[in-house]
């Protein structure tokens, strides 16, 4: 089977801190994978390396068999855990920008989602609340017909009602032939949508398994197992 994403012996060092240590993993098409771990476990670093925002100290990453580069970036839709849009821009200008650069961007889908959320395309980002800006980012990311969605803490820092909306938006808009790698530490909220999980602890993968196997093998939910593994 073709692999959408493959990390091979990836290590990332920040000075003396080892953020990722000899990480190898694969993600296959059509899967929703939860990248689970406590804060500082290396989840964001892992996603940034695949997005091309960080260069690994050693090891390789390939996306649909391609090394990280312009080709791979055209296939990845990445949602960072921070505001990465210029706040002087209008929502419509950002949509134009995405449409210009990403061939797989569906402008109509973006406008439909904006309308459903009652966000005016004429508004400048700086006039929007933090939560609305995050929704705009999510709309942009999910309006792409990408092979791989890398979502970094998409439900972190929002209220439970917004979490449901975000998860619903992800599930109803992603390209089902592709895969989603979603990083979070809010396991119970995402557990029902995941096919697979990866546990990351201090930059090391401690578990990679399907959700069904976890339930069968450990007779526990992912959330319960997570709490057990990462008990303080």
Partner 1 sequence: MLGKLLKKDFRSTYRFFLPLMGGYTIAAAVGKILFEIVLSVLDSAGHTSALSEGIAIFSVFYLIICVIYLVACYLMTSVFVVYDFYKTMVSDDGYLTHTLPVRTSTLICSKTLIAVMWQIVVNLIISLSFLLIFTGHFSQLPVKYFFKYFASSWNMDSFAYGIYSVLNILVESFQRPLLFFACIAIGQQWKNHRILGAILAYIGISIATQIINTIAIIMTGVSSLYQDFTLSGYMLYSLIFGIITTVGFYLVSDYMLSKKLNLE
Instruction: Please give the residue ranges that form the binding site for partner 1 (CB under 8 A).
Output: 14-15, 48, 51-55, 69-71, 73-74, 76, 78, 80, 82-86, 88, 93, 97, 100-102
Question: Between 101 and 206, whose beta carbon lies closer to partner 1?
Answer: 101
Q: In this structure, are residues 220 and 214 in contact, taking their beta carbons and an 8 Å threshold? A: yes
Query: Rounded distance, CA 166 to CA 18, Å?
Result: 32
Question: Between 8 and 104, whose beta carbon lies closer to partner 1?
Answer: 104
Question: Between 16 and 231, whose beta carbon lies closer to partner 1?
Answer: 16
Q: Which residues does 222 contact at the CB level (< 8 Å), separation at least 6?
A: 34, 36, 187, 191, 194, 197, 211, 214, 215
Query: Rounded distance, CA 149 to CA 140, Å?
Result: 12
Q: In this structure, are residues 200 and 36 in contact, taking their beta carbons and an 8 Å threshold? A: yes
Q: In this structure, are residues 195 and 178 in contact, taking their beta carbons and an 8 Å threshold? A: no
Question: Residue 154: which of 181, 128, 174, 123 has the closest Cα?
Answer: 181
Query: Rounded distance, CA 22 to CA 204, Å?
Result: 7
Query: Rounded distance, CA 25 to CA 10, Å?
Result: 9
Least distance to partner 1, CB of residue 81, Å: 10
Least distance to partner 1, CB of residue 223, Å: 29
Question: Between 58 and 217, whose beta carbon lies closer to partner 1?
Answer: 58
Question: Residue 151: which of 108, 207, 203, 194 has the closest Cα?
Answer: 194
Interior CA angle at 53 toward 114 and 136, to 5°? 10
Residue 11 CB neighbours (<10 A): 15
Least distance to partner 1, CB of residue 126, Å: 13
Least distance to partner 1, CB of residue 140, Å: 9
């Amino acid at each position: 089977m073709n692999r959408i994403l493959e990390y091979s012996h990836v290590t990332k060092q920040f000075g003396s801190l080892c953020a990722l240590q000899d990480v190898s993993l694969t993600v296959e098409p059509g899967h929703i994978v939860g990248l689970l771990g406590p804060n500082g476990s290396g989840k964001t670093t892992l996603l940034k390396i695949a997005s091309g925002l960080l260069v690994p100290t050693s090891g390789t990453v390939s996306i649909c068999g391609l090394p990280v580069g312009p080709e791979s970036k055209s296939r990845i839709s990445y949602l960072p855990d921070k505001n990465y849009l210029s706040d002087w821009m209008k929502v419509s200008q950002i949509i134009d920008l995405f449409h210009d650069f990403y061939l797989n961007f569906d402008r109509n889908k973006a406008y439909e989602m904006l309308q459903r959320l009652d966000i005016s395309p004429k508004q400048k980002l700086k006039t929007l609340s933090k939560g609305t800006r995050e929704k705009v980012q999510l709309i942009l990311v999910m309006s792409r017909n990408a092979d791989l969605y890398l979502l970094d803490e998409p439900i972190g820092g929002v209220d439970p009602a917004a979490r449901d909306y975000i998860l619903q938006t992800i599930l109803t808009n992603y390209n089902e032939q592709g895969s989603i790698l979603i990083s979070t530490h809010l396991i119970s909220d995402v557990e029902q949508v995941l096919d697979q999980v990866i546990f990351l602890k201090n930059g090391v993968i401690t578990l990679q398994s399907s959700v069904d196997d976890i339930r069968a093998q450990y007779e526990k939910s992912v959330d319960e197992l997570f709490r057990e593994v990462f008990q303080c």
